[in-house]
Structure 1
Amino acid sequence: MPAMASATIRSTSTGRRFSGLGVLHLSSSSLRMAPVLDHKNTSLTVANWEISSHRDPESYPTVELNAAVRLAEKHIPSVPHWRFCYLIIRKVFVYGAFLIHRLDPDLRDAVCILSLVCIALDTVEDDTSMDTEVKTPVLMAFHRHIYDREWHFACGTKDFRVLMNKFHHVSTSFLELGSSYQKVIEDVSMTIGAGMAKFLYKEVETIEDYDEYCHYVAGVIGLGFSKLICASGIEDLPPDEFFHSMSVFAQKADIIQDYLEDNNEIPKSLQNLRMFWPRQIWGKYVDKSEDLKFEKNSIKAVHCLNEMITNALIHADDCLKYISAVQHPTIFQSCAMTQIVAIGTLTSCYNNIQVFRGVENMRFGLAPKAVVGSKTISDFYGVFYDFTCVLKSKIDDNDPNATKTKERVEAILNTLQELRNLKTEGSKQSI
């Protein structure tokens, strides 16, 4: 999941935790706030991403992305069911739509449907107004529902409810895909549905549970996306662990940033309130996970937060080592953007008590940096390196995990330096 926007009765969009919408997902909780990169009215700094502007950033998405999406919309198919799919994905997954439209038509259709199926699963999972007993059979049977031209299910709010109420359009489109694409999407939806259903009844107690949950809602989608690319034959891909690690890295960044939102879910019944930070980590600092947001626990909360971020950083190496193997420009851009948003989010959150106070202003500037850093592999390495250096500068020696955090940050910086050196040597040899 994604990846890869969240609980359907919240003010944010569904799919926030679905960072694993393969390499295409930039969490809508990060990018719904993307500002215009206006050099006259806006100052952007890598160190803290301060935006000095009176404008509402939600009203001014990144100019380059918005223009590309508008251009892509001119090519929306006229067939009603496909038209619905491409129009609704523009509403529930705007930056994904930008990247999807740039793919070759055959692969574009398959990725569009995979994305909508995953968002639909997430909408069911995150609707806290439904009892677990209602959600479970829907999640478990979702891989069969996608073959039913008549199936729909009322849940979610706003555009996500429209998607679920008119899901028959998605199923109709799915049935027009090639059989190899259908098989991938069926397998992904079956695995995710079963994993989501499992964690409706299972708390995230251990780090192993945490990794398993992220695997189901993010890693599986990354693997599914890579299988769609393979089925299309457009390029040879890096190893599967690249897509898995990349999706899980982004997923963990989202889960960390969304602590407060997850703890403020409505209704707050014992049945519906779920925490995705593992007890094995937060239990070292407080008796109950919601205690982290109380001012009296500020120091403990930041130490817990920093341990969560240190855990996430372990996935960065695989992401960095294999991204240069991606040759298709759109696929590379989606990979690069996802990873830049992830490292930017972790850097912004590190040692930052605002994670427990309110996160609405924590990702300003990430969208422009993601666009800039996804132009070329050199740009990507440079932006990722800059963010990692900022994170390194924020490490407090008094933090109980400082030594481990430094080790992981140094490992990332060393990997980046080696990759940049290889890139430079390769360029010299080719001259």
Structure 2
Amino acid sequence: MNGPQPLITNPQLLSQLSDAELQAVLLEGVSRTFALTIPQLPENLYPAVANAYLLCRIVDTIEDEISLNAEQKKRFCSEFIQIVKTGEGAQAFADELAPLLSTQTIPAEHSLIHLIPRVIAITHSLDRAQIEALACCVETMANGMPVYQALDLRAGLKTMKDMDDYCYYVAGCVGEMLAKLFCHYSPQIDAHRDELLKLSVSFGQGLQMTNILKDIWDDAQRGVCWLPQDIFTETGFNLADLTPTTNDERFRKGLEHLISIAHGHLQNALTYTQLLPRHETGIRNFCLWALGMAVLTLKKIKQNLSFNESSQVKISRNSVKATILACKLSARSNLLLSLLFNLTSQGLKTPGWQYLPESHTGQ
């Protein structure tokens, strides 16, 4: 608490830090999970992945800002795409956006928006292939996310396909970008490029679906639902009836189906990780820690389908520590990883129920 916290609210002090220090402090401020996992990556990958996360967080901040209307969000997203691609216009963009942020946006994100010029300068200090991977991801995300601003989401998304699309725009495209960066980093990884790109979308969706399921009730408080109605039509529940006080077996049955789908995506995430060279323990741990925490979260949701607050299914710090230790001990062994995954994810799959998502790779 004595490190980045006092700094994060002071853009002037932040601007005096080195690039590496700045990205580390900003990451700690906007995402403790990624501040934990990204430093596990090899030295040649860390700057690009840290920068990528900050760029995506800028898009998220624009999308989540309550003071901006849908048209403003669309314009800012469109302008940001060009800034990431060209490296130009960052200061004017930050100067216009920063004063519009409300107090609901956390202080770390206020600082991040103020420091967009510096973040973009770091982006354009990377090599060409890395810049292209980051720009492609930002373009996909910034073009896709505003579509959902215009939707009435009180009754959820219409179909599972709609949920797939949403997850692709907010997480699947990030998975693709990471796969591209890993392939660029290592010819040995690049040998599996096509398979990794396909699996990376599923990896991203598994993590995003886990977050959606965990945050159902927080979202419901805001009058938003990211669940797909067609899954619940099968169980006889109408998502338009969903409220923070809902207690309905038909709803819980639909949740079980979604948990099973998320489990299938996380199974693909394991396959993805096992395709990475065994000696690349840093990259493997980066993937495994996120995968392990997602599995444990799904497990808590499955064991407590009647939960009504996200805090009730949040994994403990001890669980996080245990996940990290287990991953470190088994990172080099595909057999141990399979055994660990099967053991911890036992009971997550709904027997006799399967959903096969469409591929988004190459969108």
The answer (yes or no) to whether the contact 1:218–1:248 under 8 Å persists in 2 is: yes
Partner of 2:189: 236
Partner of 2:148: 199
- My pick for the range that moved more, 283-292 or 102-111, is 283-292
The answer (yes or no) to whether the contact 1:114–1:185 under 8 Å persists in 2 is: yes
- In 1, Cα distance between equivalents of 2:38 and 2:305: 36
Partner of 2:358: none
The answer (yes or no) to whether the contact 2:23–2:51 under 8 Å persists in 1 is: yes
- In 2, Cα distance between equivalents of 1:352 and 1:292: 18
Higher-helix-fraction structure: 2
Amino acid at match of 1:166: L
The answer (yes or no) to whether the contact 1:293–1:301 under 8 Å persists in 2 is: no
- In 2, Cα distance between equivalents of 1:186 and 1:293: 38
Pair 1:119-2:57 in alignment: yes
- In 2, Cα distance between equivalents of 1:351 and 1:85: 37
Give how far 1:105 is off: 3.1
Partner of 1:158: 107
- My pick for the range that moved more, 115-124 or 87-96, is 87-96
Match of 1:263 among 209, 217, 220: 220
The answer (yes or no) to whether the contact 2:37–2:289 under 8 Å persists in 1 is: no
Report Cα offsets for 1:261-299 as digits up to 9, x if no partner: 11112xxxxxxx43211122235544444525435x432
Partner of 2:31: 93
Match of 1:404 among 349, 352, 357: 352
Partner of 2:205: 248
Partner of 2:300: 348
Amino acid at match of 1:346: L
Aligned residue for 1:106, secondary structure, equals: coil
Match of 1:224 among 165, 177, 180: 177
- In 2, Cα distance between equivalents of 1:100 and 1:350: 28
User: Could you say if the C-alpha distance between residues 234 and 108 of structure 1 is closer, same or farther in structure 2, counting changes exceeding 3 Å?
Assistant: farther
The percentage of counterpart residues that share the same residue type is 19
- In 2, Cα distance between equivalents of 1:383 and 1:79: 41
User: Could you say if the C-alpha distance between residues 258 and 373 of structure 1 is closer, same or farther in structure 2, counting changes exceeding 3 Å?
Assistant: same
- In 1, Cα distance between equivalents of 2:35 and 2:211: 20
Aligned residue for 1:105, secondary structure, equals: coil
Taking structure 1 as the reference length, the TM-score comes to 0.67
- In 2, Cα distance between equivalents of 1:157 and 1:90: 13
Aligned residue for 1:404, secondary structure, equals: coil
Partner of 1:172: 121
Amino acid at match of 1:173: I
Tell which has more relative contact order, 1 or 2 (C-alpha 8 A, sep 6+): 1
- In 1, Cα distance between equivalents of 2:237 and 2:259: 17
Partner of 1:139: 77
Amino acid at match of 1:294: T
User: Could you say if the C-alpha distance between residues 102 and 388 of structure 1 is closer, same or farther in structure 2, counting changes exceeding 3 Å?
Assistant: closer
User: Could you say if the C-alpha distance between residues 334 and 291 of structure 1 is closer, same or farther in structure 2, counting changes exceeding 3 Å?
Assistant: same
Partner of 2:10: none
Two-structure CA RMSD over aligned residues (Å): 2.6
Amino acid at match of 2:242: D
Partner of 1:22: none
Partner of 2:359: none
Partner of 1:302: 252
Amino acid at match of 2:65: D
User: Could you say if the C-alpha distance between residues 88 and 322 of structure 1 is closer, same or farther in structure 2, counting changes exceeding 3 Å?
Assistant: closer
User: Could you say if the C-alpha distance between residues 102 and 294 of structure 1 is closer, same or farther in structure 2, counting changes exceeding 3 Å?
Assistant: closer
- In 2, Cα distance between equivalents of 1:322 and 1:287: 36
Aligned residue for 1:176, secondary structure, equals: coil
Partner of 2:361: none
The answer (yes or no) to whether the contact 2:202–2:266 under 8 Å persists in 1 is: yes
- In 2, Cα distance between equivalents of 1:224 and 1:162: 25
User: Could you say if the C-alpha distance between residues 285 and 138 of structure 1 is closer, same or farther in structure 2, counting changes exceeding 3 Å?
Assistant: farther
Partner of 1:334: 286
Amino acid at match of 2:199: F
User: Could you say if the C-alpha distance between residues 258 and 289 of structure 1 is closer, same or farther in structure 2, counting changes exceeding 3 Å?
Assistant: farther
The answer (yes or no) to whether the contact 1:218–1:244 under 8 Å persists in 2 is: yes
Amino acid at match of 1:300: R
Aligned residue for 2:311, secondary structure, equals: coil
Partner of 1:103: 41
Give how far 1:126 is off: 2.0
Amino acid at match of 1:361: Q
The answer (yes or no) to whether the contact 2:220–2:243 under 8 Å persists in 1 is: no
Amino acid at match of 1:183: E
Partner of 2:7: none
The answer (yes or no) to whether the contact 1:184–1:224 under 8 Å persists in 2 is: yes
- In 2, Cα distance between equivalents of 1:77 and 1:291: 46
Pair 1:386-2:339 in alignment: no
Amino acid at match of 1:176: S
Amino acid at match of 2:290: T
User: Could you say if the C-alpha distance between residues 293 and 404 of structure 1 is closer, same or farther in structure 2, counting changes exceeding 3 Å?
Assistant: farther
The answer (yes or no) to whether the contact 2:78–2:142 under 8 Å persists in 1 is: yes
Q: How many residues align?
A: 315
Give how far 1:196 is off: 0.4
Amino acid at match of 1:340: G
The answer (yes or no) to whether the contact 1:219–1:245 under 8 Å persists in 2 is: yes
Pair 1:361-2:299 in alignment: no
